[in-house]
Structure 1
Amino acid sequence: MSRKEDIEKKTEALLTPIAEKCGVRIYDVEYVKEAGEWYLRAYIDKDGGVNINDCVDVNHALSDALDVDDFIEDAYTLEVSSPGLGRQLKKDRHFENSLGKDVELKLYKAIDGVKEFAGTLKSYDSTSVTVTINDKDETFLRKEISVIKLALDF
């Protein structure tokens, strides 16, 4: 397990009881470096969506827990937010909750000159994702997908 994955796993373990106490679910935790700065992001959700007060409450509690445990050596910015409407699907629980919903996906490499696809998520397993596109099932290897997210429908 990489250092990044270890930090994400430890943070999720700290966040689990906090999320339960605050009445929210953990959607994802990521530890990323952007423009030379480290960010620890916790995405939370609940039925009906989260509001700013949910994010503030979780942020304060998680910040306090991280100060006590103090397992991250780098300076970082903690962010707690909703995963948003066009949320990325990364984990099996994300795919499970999104079956039958419209998704958009981008591939690392084009297939017949096309890198972006949109359709309805039909199924998934540990190595592939099947999307119904124009009434035809297309299967993509997960390792070939750069991003898959819920489609925004306005």
Structure 2
Amino acid sequence: MRQTFEEMLSDIIRPEVENLGYQFWGLTSPASGKKRVVRIYIDSPDGVHIDQCARVSRQVGLMLEVEDVIPGAFTLEVSSPGLERPFFSPDQMVNYIGREVKITLFETHDDRRKFKGTLTGVKGDTITLNVDEEILNFKWISIKKAKLIHEF
């Protein structure tokens, strides 16, 4: 299976972030307009502060310039995943079982692409949601976006 641009970038950036002492949570890099935006999410047990994001941004920015893996101009953004964190793999969701999540599928399931429910399980590449008292299983590969819903 061919690696996506984001997976290739993640493989390059992950060790750099981890060497600085942070957890690499994930990245997005939608191509839009003339300038690509590379958005990196980092975390740590104590959370992440602006100074830490700036440090990672400087280090990763230098490395990306040297490696020259991104064609053309790009903007690099580094932040914490936040309270309504996006998920980049099913194993990231394990610690959030019992919490509300929202997923968007690539293709419709029962005439819907968006589901909001309680995460009740994660097994391998399958996540289980309780949506309006109905238990639904979704393969990770069918999920376009998944994020935590923070209850205020």
TM range (shorter): 0.7 to 0.9
Number of the residue aligned with 1:117: 115
1:125 and 1:36 mapped to 2: Cα distance? 40
Note if 1:34 corresponds to 2:28.
Answer: no
Name the CA distance, whole Å, in 1 between partners of 2:35 and 2:128. Answer: 36
Distance 2:30 2:112 in 1: 29
Pairing partner for 1:89 from 79, 87, 100: 87
Q: What's 1:13 paired with?
A: 15
By how many angstroms is 1:97 displaced?
Answer: 2.6
In the aligned structure 2, how far is the partner of 1:37 from the partner of 1:87?
25
Identity within the alignment, %: 27
RMSD of Structure 2 on Structure 1 (CA): 2.4
Q: 1:151 to 1:28 in 2, by over 3 A?
A: same
Runs of at least 5 residues in structure 1 that lack an aligned partner in the other structure: none
Q: Which segments of 5 or more consecutive residues in structure 2 lack a partner in the other structure?
A: none
Q: Deviations over 1:82-140 (max 9, x none)?
A: 12222222213312232222111223444444433222212223442101234442212
TM score, norm. by length of structure 1: 0.79
| TM-score normalised according to structure 2 size | 0.80
- Count of matched residue pairs: 150
Provide, for residues 2-45 of structure 1, a one-character-per-residue CA deviation record: whole Å limited to 9, x for no partner. 36132331122332202x1xxx3211133331223212221111
